[in-house]
């Protein structure tokens, strides 16, 4: 099933130059705009307690998601990237030696999106759409399998809930 979904999404690559440019932009550069937007949003918070909490929630969620869980899974399980397994040139440059599962980009940007949803629901949904676009673009570019993106999104989700649980004070009984 992973291969058939991959083929359907990756099949759009190489058809139109403008579409390839859009795939490359989303796979490589869209994330920088999401990070910049989140940093500006957090920085503009007037209440320094909230600003510090937002920063801590964001930083810790991303560290747990991308830096700890993703790398632990990759250490325990290696999965070749689609372009390395199938022998084609991806739209974006990437090392064939790097593990594919789970997607570090998906883990990072879905974690960021969930933090943004918790801070500002309206803005957060744009981040969630951006994370999904990045994931789809990375499949279309040939550097990830669809299940890599799904696993990265789940990693981001789990990380967010763990960090939020650890940071939010609970009422004492």
- The CATH number of residue 84's host domain is 1.20.144.10
Distant-in-sequence, close-in-space partners of 111: CB < 8 Å, separation ≥ 6: 61, 62, 64, 65, 66, 155, 156, 157, 159, 160
pLDDT for position 145: 92
How does pLDDT run across 19-61, given as a tens digit for each residue? 889 999 999 999 999 999 999 999 998 999 889 999 999 999 9
Q: Does 124 reside within a domain?
A: yes
How many angstroms separate the Cα of 101 from the Cα of each of 72, 111, 120, 168? 11, 16, 30, 30
Q: Does 17 reside within a domain?
A: yes
Coil, strand or helix at 120: coil
Are 40 and 170 spatial neighbours (Cβ–Cβ below 8 Å)? no
Q: Does 53 reside within a domain?
A: yes
Tell me the whole-structure pTM to 2 decimals.
0.90
Are 155 and 65 spatial neighbours (Cβ–Cβ below 8 Å)? yes
Number of domain units in the chain = 1
Coil, strand or helix at 12: coil
The yes-or-no verdict on residue 173 having pLDDT over 50 is no
Q: Does 172 reside within a domain?
A: no
pLDDT for position 111: 97
pLDDT for position 96: 67
Q: Does 59 reside within a domain?
A: yes
How many Cα atoms are found within 13 Å in the side-chain-facing hemisphere of 108?
14
Q: Does 173 reside within a domain?
A: no
**Angstrom distance (rounded) from CA 71 to CA 77:** 10
Distant-in-sequence, close-in-space partners of 137: CB < 8 Å, separation ≥ 6: 22, 23, 24, 25, 26, 27, 30
Q: Does 19 reside within a domain?
A: yes
How does pLDDT run across 104-149, given as a tens digit for each residue? 999 999 999 999 999 999 999 999 999 999 999 999 998 999 999 9
Distant-in-sequence, close-in-space partners of 149: CB < 8 Å, separation ≥ 6: 103, 106, 135, 136, 138, 139
Which of 85-89, 94-98, 154-158 has the weakest average pLDDT? 94-98
Segments forming the whole domain that contains residue 68: 2-167
Please count the helices (runs of H) and the strands (runs of E) in the chain: 9, 0
Torsion angle defined by CA atoms of residues 17, 146, 157 and 119, in that order, rounded to the nearest 10 degrees: 20
Q: Does 46 reside within a domain?
A: yes
């Amino acid at each position: 099933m992973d291969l058939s979904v991959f083929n359907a999404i990756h099949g759009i690559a190489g058809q139109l130059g403008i579409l390839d440019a859009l795939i490359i932009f989303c796979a490589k550069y869209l994330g920088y705009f999401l990070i910049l937007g989140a940093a500006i949003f957090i920085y503009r918070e007037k209440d320094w307690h909230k600003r510090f909490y937002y920063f801590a929630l964001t930083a810790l969620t991303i560290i747990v998601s991308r830096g700890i869980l993703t790398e632990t899974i990759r250490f325990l399980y290696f999965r070749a990237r689609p372009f390395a397994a199938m022998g084609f040139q991806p739209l974006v440059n990437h090392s064939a030696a790097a593990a594919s599962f789970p997607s570090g980009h998906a883990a990072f940007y879905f974690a960021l999106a969930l933090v943004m949803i918790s801070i500002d629901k309206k803005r957060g949904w744009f981040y969630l759409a951006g994370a999904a676009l990045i994931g789809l673009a990375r499949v279309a570019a040939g550097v990830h399998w669809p299940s890599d993106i799904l696993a990265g999104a789940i990693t981001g989700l789990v990380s967010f809930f763990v960090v939020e649980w650890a940071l939010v004070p609970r009422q004492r009984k």
